[in-house]
Amino acid sequence: MPELLDERVGFVRRIGLFQATAINMSQMCGIGPFVTIPLMVAAFGGPQAVIGFLAGAVLALADGLIWAELGASLPGAGGSYVYLRQAFQYRTGKLMPFLFVWTAMLFIPLGMSTGVIGFVQYLGYLWPGMSQGQGDLVGLVVTAGVITLLWRRVENVARLTVVLWTVMIASVTLVVVAAFTHFSAERAFSYPARAFELTSGHFWVGFAAGLTIGIYDYLGYNTIAYMGAEIRQPGRTIPRAVITSILGIMTIYLLLQIGTLGVVDWRDMLDPHSTASSSVASAVLEKAWGRGAADTVTVLILITAVASVVTGLLGGSRVPCDAARDRVFFRPYGRLHPRHRFPVLGLLTMGALMAAGFLIGRHTDLATVIQLLTTVMVIVQALAQVAAVTVLRRRQPGLRRPYRMWLYPLPSIVALVGWLVIYGYADENSPGRHPIEWSLAWVAVGVVAFLLWARHEKEWPFGPKRISEEYLHGAHPGTERAHGEAARGAAEGTEGTVGSPG
């Protein structure tokens, strides 16, 4: 009874391709595009803002191919934690996976907090007299509700996600249809003077800001990789879910962006007192089909916002779990609920940090939160994973790779350039906020925390490196033998050691 054995000590592979794709797309197309279209227009200074969504799609696809190869080869709970642990253990022990978990505990809940911020923002369309305090209270209640929804078995959450995904598709489709039934090409393509002046420094600053917003809107294509230990046939399912969700959302976003610009004057999106600035999708529906239709679709958008937060927190809460079970993070994070088999402390901690991020964003602005979370994510996760693909191909050439990146190493190069552009322009796009300095400070504190932890645990650099190559030598995930070996490995916690150099 290998599945029963696996249930007692770890996760169970129950999520198939359709559910995996729905989880990704629900996280990707949450409230994001409904609140960032005005931000994108502000970044570019006109309807040429569509460039930002195209650039974000290119970066998402290039980075998605990295996730596809790593996720198919190393389908464990925690996503990047597993990839960085396997790739960098030979030189720096457990430093990189520790730093990833350290940063993920911040950038994942910050990302989810933007969904709650967007929820309250759109709720303001239905509740015009909502005060700042009332909005804050609503956001905290939504956060508590999301945690309650996730307090159950993963297959039940996956079924719920399919329902939420259906609502998301319905809300986006209605906005797109409403936009194109009242579409004005003259309005959509009324570019200001020097909109495409590539020699202007202003254009490239706007491009970097737009790329940051664009990739934020696509984030979520990696959600299913965080749940690699719960995916059926991960070597096939993870790459297909990642690539399909990116291409599907890219189509949706372009239709949504162009359609919206064809109904709402882009100048109205720059007016902070305009409905087009805070609830642009509602403004589209109101102009096209009237207030009643706008109210109805706004309700669907609110459900979509909740769906994105549910799926994001579902995947994110798995990150510290695998690290703790591998003795790279605080051990209580490795405990699963005795009956429902989900990581209890990871869910509660990220829920609390999500609530804190929501309050910070409510009292600053959404663009600042997006810039901060993206910068923190880039410095450890994004850049390190670009390197991890190449490192693993050299260090573990015998690793089973059900999917190999197309056109390698071109996607890695494209992803590297894109992430460096986002990081390099971060301070310029957030004047006075200093996201680069804050990200470096957070990582520096993480290094200190790692050294203290390593000294206590007698890990490298205060002890031998512990090399774990279970994916290189283990059975193919999804087979009965793999279930049994994964269960025994989790129960015994076995790993090899090598001496620390010099």
Residue ranges of domains in the chain, CATH in brackets: 2-487 (1.20.1740.10)
The predicted pLDDT at position 481 comes to 42
The predicted pLDDT at position 500 comes to 34
What stretches in the chain show pLDDT beneath 70?
1-11, 153-161, 340, 474-502
CA within 13 Å, CB half, 294: 21
Place of tokens 């609110």: 302
pLDDT in tens, 68-111: 999 999 998 778 888 999 999 999 999 999 999 999 889 989 98
418/412 Cα distance (integer angstroms): 10
The predicted pLDDT at position 226 comes to 80
**Identity of residue 14:** R
Q: What angle do CA 308, 309, 313 make, to 5 degrees?
A: 120
Query: DSSP of 176-229, one letter per residue?
Result: HHHHHHT--HHHHT-PPTTTT-TT-HHHHHHHHHHHHHHHHHHTTTTHHHHBGG
SS3 content of the chain, % helix, strand, coil (to 5): 75, 0, 25
* Chain centroid offset of residue 385 CA: 14
Angle between helices 291-316 and 132-149 (to 10 degrees): 50
The predicted pLDDT at position 70 comes to 96
The predicted pLDDT at position 239 comes to 95
The answer to whether residues 170 and 303 touch, using CB atoms and an 8 Å cutoff, is: no
Q: Which residues of 259-297 are buried (b: 16+ CB within 10 A; e: fewer)?
A: bbbbbbebebbeeeebbbbbbbbbbbbbbbbeeeebeeb
239/259 Cα distance (integer angstroms): 30
pLDDT in tens, 114-168: 999 999 999 999 999 899 999 999 999 999 999 988 887 666 666 666 777 788 7
351/421 Cα distance (integer angstroms): 31
Q: Which residues of 413-443 are buried (b: 16+ CB within 10 A; e: fewer)?
A: ebbbebbebbbebbbebbeebebbebbeebe
The answer to whether residues 213 and 39 touch, using CB atoms and an 8 Å cutoff, is: yes
For 44, 54, 261, the CA distances from 194, given in Å and listed in that order, are 11, 20, 19
The answer to whether residues 52 and 218 touch, using CB atoms and an 8 Å cutoff, is: no
Q: What angle do CA 425, 212, 17 make, to 5 degrees?
A: 145
How many residues in the chain?
A: 502
